[in-house]
Chain A
Amino acid sequence: MKRLAVFSGGLLLVAVVTAAQQRAQLESIKTEWQNAYGAIIYTVLANVKNVSDAPIAYVKVKVQLFDKDGKLVAERAGYNAEAEILDTEGFGGSFEDKVKLVKPIAPGGTDLFRLSLDKADIGKPFRTAKVELVEVH
């Protein structure tokens, strides 16, 4: 298991890539708080890089927030930007049908990963965000 820790904005970000998932890597991970017309949103941004020699259809990334004692506060998962359609319901048919609509990440290519959590859905103070690549297809 390979671990990459990035200290950014006073927050320890930990990206975890298992041996089975070394076809892709998360790079330039950063987080930011945004005020969207009064809605307070915590956003995780990263670049997903295809480090293999074959196209990648999509990747799934898990974000976990931990408090100062290491207790899980919130968890959410999402897909790379080109594959965000996979998270939608009732659009594009079955999951397999939607995958066909996704533009793959070419070998050596990158795509954005972005995931936002509403402050109201987090609920408790947290200190650490763990960003983990959980699926590569």
Chain B
Amino acid sequence: MKRTWVIVAALVAALAGGVDAADKVNLNAATKEQLVTLGLTESQALQVIAHRAKSGPFLQVEELLAVQQMNKETFEKVRDHVTVDE
């Protein structure tokens, strides 16, 4: 529940004008729930996690476009809210 509030706070901050790096969701650690909260479908979120498990940590946010079931519309929606930095 606490995690959900953190995500909601990040989205509110984004709408208020920009997302701080610290508020971004790390694609290499995100749970299915976090990814769904960002706007991915449950199926896409599972594909992100499967991609990570099979191919290793994401090296760039843009690598999301190589995930099965990902499309440009969803990518554009989430790109500013995710990171791969440790």
Contacts and interface: CB of A to CB of B under 8 A. Distances in A.
Interface stretch (B7-15, B30-38, B55-63): B55-63
Given A10-B79, A125-B84, A125-B85, A35 B60 contact: no
Contact of A40 (B61, B63, B84): B63
Prevailing SS type, chain A contact patch: mixed
B53 interface: no
B37 to A, nearest CB: 21
Nearest to A123: B59
Interface string B58-86: 11111111111000000000010000111
Contacts of B67: 35
23 contacts: A10-B61, A10-B79, A11-B62, A33-B60, A33-B62, A33-B64, A34-B66, A35-B67, A38-B54, A40-B55, A41-B66, A42-B59, A42-B63, A119-B56, A119-B63, A120-B56, A122-B59, A123-B59, A124-B59, A125-B58, A125-B59, A126-B60, A127-B60
